[in-house]
């Protein structure tokens, strides 16, 4: 920190260095880089104070720039000519555009084709066939260690199934899929999503198993299956006055692990 005026005295006597002004200008230009390096490197309370000061500076700078950019002439805001010209009687009306309607119908058709409905569990983990069925050996030599004569075309379903009340097994010699009675269920615990209470309702049938149509026809109940339950005890009535006795529900647990079928009603 120079004390005294010897610098000014020297300047008065000898003038400036030949490159003084250029060096000064370049040093000032480098201040920007130095400041940014400082801002990056500084730590602690010093850093916080600097950041605060710098932020205030930036805000002020933005305001002055915006003020300069404001023009004094007021132009009309909407100058562009838009597409989709409509006559005057349609201008204030909010009609759905044809494209939107078309895309909606196409989406609806796609949904119907794909069978994707608005259900609580849209995606479920796919179950492999090896997990679903266990190979049952049959035939005279079924217990041999290495036997080529053992037949292995029978399968036993390892998941919970539902068979209807009038179910009769096929002759055991010919039945391919064995559905063990221990894994057959007739009732499900169905929760109403809005009322939040659970009822023990009888299953009427299996509507769809997401793993495939074969499982649907077999009556296998896994997580995500849509089942039809008897809701007559809930006392629901249609707007026309008819009593509703069957509704769809989606299974929400893995019944083979829990020993019961939990489902949520699709309203």
Partner 1 sequence: MEVMDVEREVSNNNSVMCLLTDPEGEPLGAPLYLPQNVGPPQLQEIVNKLLNNVEKMPYAFYISDQELVVQLSSYLQKNKVSVEKVLRIVYQPQALFRIRPVNRCSATIAGHTEAVLSVSFSPDGLHLASGSGDTTVRLWDLGTQTPMFTCSGHKNWVLCISWSPDGQHLVSGSKAGEILSWDPQTGKQSGSPFLGHKKWITGISWEPVHLQAPCRRFVSSSKDGDARVWDISLRKCVICLSGHTLAVTCVKWGGDGMIYTGSQDCTIKVWETTQGKLIRELKGHGHWVNSLALSTEYVLRTGAFDHTRKAYSSPAEMKEAALARYNKMKGNASERLVSGSDDFTMFLWEPASSKHPKARLTGHQQLVNHVYFSPDGQWLASASFDKSVKLWNGITGKFIASFRGHVGPVYQISWSADSRLLLSGSKDSTLKVWDIRTHKLKQDLPGHADEVFSVDWSPDGEKVASGGKDRMLKLWMN
**In the complex, which residues of this chain contact partner 1 (CB under 8 A)?**
76, 79, 81, 83-89, 91-92
| Nearest distance from C-beta of residue 78 to partner 1, angstroms | 8
Contacts of 146 (CB under 8 A, 6+ apart): none
Q: Which residues contact 185 (CB under 8 A, 6 or more apart)?
A: 160, 161, 162, 203, 221, 255, 260, 261
Chain-centroid distance of CA 232 in Å reads: 35
Q: How many CA atoms lie within 13 A of 146 on its CB side?
A: 0
CB of 77 to partner 1, least distance (A): 11
Q: How far is CA 101 from the centre of its chain?
A: 25
* Cβ closest to partner 1, residue 97 vs residue 238: 97
- Specify the residue, 43 or 81, whose C-beta has the smaller distance to partner 1: 81
Nearest approach, Cβ of residue 87 and partner 1 (Å) = 5
Q: Which is nearer to partner 1, 31 or 88 (CB)?
A: 88
Quote the CA–CA distance of 49 and 232 in Å, as a whole number.
72
Hey, how many other C-beta atoms are within 10 angstroms of the C-beta on 99?
Answer: 8
The residue (of 33 and 76) whose beta carbon lies closer to partner 1 is 76
Residue 264: CB minimum distance to partner 1, A? 41
Q: How far is the CB of 88 from partner 1 (least distance, A)?
A: 4
Q: Which of 187, 182, 123 has the alpha carbon at shortest distance from 158?
A: 182
- Nearer to partner 1 among residue 92 and residue 118 (C-beta): 92
């Amino acid at each position: 920190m120079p004390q005294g005026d010897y610098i000014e005295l020297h300047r008065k006597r000898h003038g400036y260095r030949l490159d003084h002004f250029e060096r000064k200008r370049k040093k000032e230009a480098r201040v920007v880089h130095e400041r940014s390096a400082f801002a990056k490197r500084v730590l602690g309370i010093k850093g916080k104070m600097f950041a605060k000061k710098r932020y205030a500076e930036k805000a002020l700078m933005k305001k002055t720039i915006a003020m300069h950019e404001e023009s004094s002439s007021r132009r009309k805001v909407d100058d562009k000519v838009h597409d989709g010209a409509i006559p005057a009687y349609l201008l204030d009306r909010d009609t759905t555009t044809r494209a939107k309607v078309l895309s909606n119908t196409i989406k609806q058709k796609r949904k119907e084709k794909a069978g994707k409905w608005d259900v609580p569990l849209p995606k479920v983990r796919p179950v492999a066939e090896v997990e679903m069925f266990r190979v049952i050996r049959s035939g005279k030599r079924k217990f041999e260690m290495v036997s080529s004569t053992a037949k292995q075309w029978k399968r036993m379903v390892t998941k919970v199934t539902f068979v209807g009340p009038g179910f009769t097994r096929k002759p055991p010699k010919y039945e391919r899929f064995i559905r063990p009675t221990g894994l057959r269920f007739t009732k499900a615990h169905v929760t109403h999503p809005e009322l939040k209470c659970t009822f023990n309702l009888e299953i009427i049938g299996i509507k769809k198993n997401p793993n495939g149509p074969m499982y649907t026809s077999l009556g296998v109940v896994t997580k995500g299956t849509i089942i039809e339950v008897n809701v007559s005890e809930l006392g629901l009535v249609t707007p026309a006055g008819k009593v509703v006795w069957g509704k769809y529900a989606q299974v929400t647990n893995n019944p083979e692990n829990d020993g019961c079928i939990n489902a949520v009603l699709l309203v």
